[in-house]
Amino acid sequence: METDILIVGSGCSGLYCALCLPPSLQITILTKSDRESNDSFLAQGGMCTLKAESDYGCYFEDTLRAGHYENDKTSVELMIRSSRNVVRDLVAYGVDFQREEDGSFAYTREGGHSEKRILFHKDVTGREITSKLLTQVQKRQNITLLEHTELLDIISRGNTCLGAVIRNPEGDLQTVSSSFTVLATGGIGGLFRHSTNFRHLTGDALAIAIRHRIALKNINYIQIHPTTFYSPGNKDRSFLISESVRGEGAKLYGKDMKRFVNELLPRDQLTAAIYEQMKKDGSDFVWEDLRTIPPEELNSHFPNIVAHCSKMGYDVTKECIPVVPSQHYFMGGIQVNHQSRTSMSRLYAVGETACNGVHGKNRLASNSLLESLVFAGRAAKDMTKDLKTVKKESLPADLPLSPYENYEAFREHEKNAVLKAIEKAEKENTAEEKSAFLTNLV
C-alpha cells in the first residue's frame, strides 16, 4: 500500500491533522477499533479557549500552576494564542458550543481555573467536536479511513521513517509506504486496572518508540482523575464524573458526610486528598453531592451523567453518588518539538501519545482537546511545508514480517515493554506518589 500521509488514530488530533492537510494529498487514517472508539469521543467537560485578551495572563498562569511549573512555556503560549483559530475552525465544521441568550459563547469553570473559560456542549463536548470532525473527514475524497486496522511497527532506514507494518481486520500483515507518518494513537489506559480510557489503548506508539530508540519524555507523568463512578468489580472503563460538575458546585464528602477538601483543587492535589480520606475512612470511595446544582441545570448541562447514575441506581437530585479516582490522562509520551516532529525524520506524534510539554507534570482541566488540535494543526502545516523536498522511498524488499505473526505474543511483549519503561521512570518518584500510581497498574 502507498499513501502520501499515514495517520494512525481517529481521535480529534488525527482527524484535525488530516483536515488541515492539502486536499491534493492522499491521506490514509488507521484506527485500531471502530472510528468512534477513541478517548476524544469520551471527553465530557469542555475545551479551554482564550475568551478575551485580558484573560491571557491568568490562563497562562493557571496552566503552569497545574503543571507544577514544569511546562514548556513556548508550547503553552502557542496553545493559548492558537485557541481562537481552532474554535473558528470547529464552528465552521458545525460544532455546536453552548450559547448564551444573546448568541455569545457560554463558558464553564473547572478545577485549577481562576476564570470561566471553557467552551462546552452539554456533558459530551468531546463527542460533539470529534463527530463533526469525522463527518468532515468522511466528505473528503482524498482521505481513506480504515477501521479495525492496527499499527504494529514503523519501517525505517537509518533515522528516517519510510512507512509502517499494519494488520488488517482479517489478521493479514501489510506494509505501507508513506512520505510522512503521524502517530495519534491516544493514551495508555488499557495498562491500568481502573481507567476512564478505552481498554484497547495500550501505548502502542510508545512500544514502537522504545524499539526504535525514538526519544520519550516524562512517561511517568500520568494523571489520575479524582472522580469516576465507583463500580466494584467493573472490568470495563470507568465512567467519568466530569470536573465541570464540581465547577458548577458539587461537593465531596467522607463517610461521615462532611466536606473534607476544596473541590476545585488541581487534579493531582484533589486525587491525593481523596486517597487520604479513603485511607482515613477505610473505604473504597468517597461521596459526591450533585444536589447543590439545580435539577434543571443538571438535566441540561449533564444529561449523560444523570442518566448513567440513574442506570446505576442513583437519583442525583436526591442522593450522593460514590466516586473513586481512576487513571485518566497521559501527560508524558513521545517527545516532540513545537511542530510535533519526533526525533525520527518524517515521523510526527500528536494528541495524548505525544509530549510537547504543554501540560508539565499535571494537566489543567479541559486543556487536552485544545492542545491536541493546536499541535495537530501545526504538524499538518509543517508537513505541507516540506512536501516538495520529500519523496517516498522504496521499502526494504527483504523486510521480515515473522516477528509480528504471533499476534497475541507480540502484543503482550509490547505491553510489558511499555509498563517496564514506565515503572523504571516511576522509581524516581516519592513513596507516596508511587503508591497511588502502582495500585492502578494492571
Coil/strand/helix, residue 7:
strand
Q: What pLDDT does 192 receive?
A: 86
Rounded to whole angstroms, the Cα distance separating 415 from 307 reads 34
- What does the domain layout of the chain look like in residue ranges? 2-221+331-419, 225-328
Going by C-alpha positions, the residue among 379, 367, 383 that lies closest to residue 50 is 367
DSSP secondary structure letters along 336-403: --TT-B-SSBTEEE-GGGEE-SSSTTSPPTT-HHHHHHHHHHHHHHHHHHHGGG--PPPPPTT---GG
Q: Average pLDDT in the 407-435 region?
A: 83
Interhelix angle 125-139/12-20, nearest 10 degrees: 40
Residue 210 makes CB contacts below 8 A (sequence gap 6+) with 216, 417, 418, 421
Q: What pLDDT does 43 receive?
A: 85
Homologous superfamily (CATH) of 2-221+331-419 is FAD/NAD(P)-binding domain (3.50.50.60)
Q: Residue 47 gets which letter from DSSP? A: E
Pair 224, 440: CB distance under 8 Å? yes
Coil/strand/helix, residue 144:
strand
Rounded to whole angstroms, the Cα distance separating 198 from 110 reads 23
For the chain, what is the radius of gyration of the CA atoms?
21
Q: Average pLDDT in the 110-118 region?
A: 93
pLDDT band at 42 (very low <50, low <70, confident <90, very high): confident
Q: Does 434 have pLDDT greater than 90?
A: no
The single residue listed with the C-alpha cell 482523575 is 225
Q: Does 442 have pLDDT greater than 70?
A: no
Q: Where are the beta strands (DSSP E) in 234-278?
A: 251-253
Pair 166, 176: CB distance under 8 Å? yes
Q: Does 64 have pLDDT greater than 60?
A: yes
Active-site position among 35, 109, 127, 267: 267
Q: Average pLDDT in the 389-400 region?
A: 87
* The three cell numbers locating residue 364: 489543567
Pair 326, 196: CB distance under 8 Å? yes
Q: What pLDDT does 431 receive?
A: 47
277-326 confidence digits (pLDDT tens): 999 999 999 999 999 999 999 999 999 999 999 999 999 999 999 999 99
160-216 confidence digits (pLDDT tens): 999 999 999 999 999 999 999 999 999 999 998 788 888 999 999 999 999 999 999
Q: What pLDDT does 435 receive?
A: 46
Helix or strand run (H / E) with residue 301: helix 295-301
Q: What pLDDT does 397 receive?
A: 82
Whether domain 225-328 has CATH 3.30.70.260: the reply is no
Assess whether 267 carries a catalytic annotation.
Answer: yes
Pair 29, 143: CB distance under 8 Å? yes
Q: Residue 240 gets which letter from DSSP? A: B
pLDDT band at 369 (very low <50, low <70, confident <90, very high): very high
Q: What pLDDT does 432 receive?
A: 47
Q: Does 439 have pLDDT greater than 80?
A: no
The number of residues making up the chain comes to 442
Q: Mean pLDDT over all residues of the chain?
A: 93
252-270 confidence digits (pLDDT tens): 999 999 999 999 998 889 9
81-109 confidence digits (pLDDT tens): 999 999 999 999 999 999 999 999 999 99
Question: Residue 161, Cα to own-chain centre: how many angstroms?
Answer: 24
Q: Record the pTM.
A: 0.89
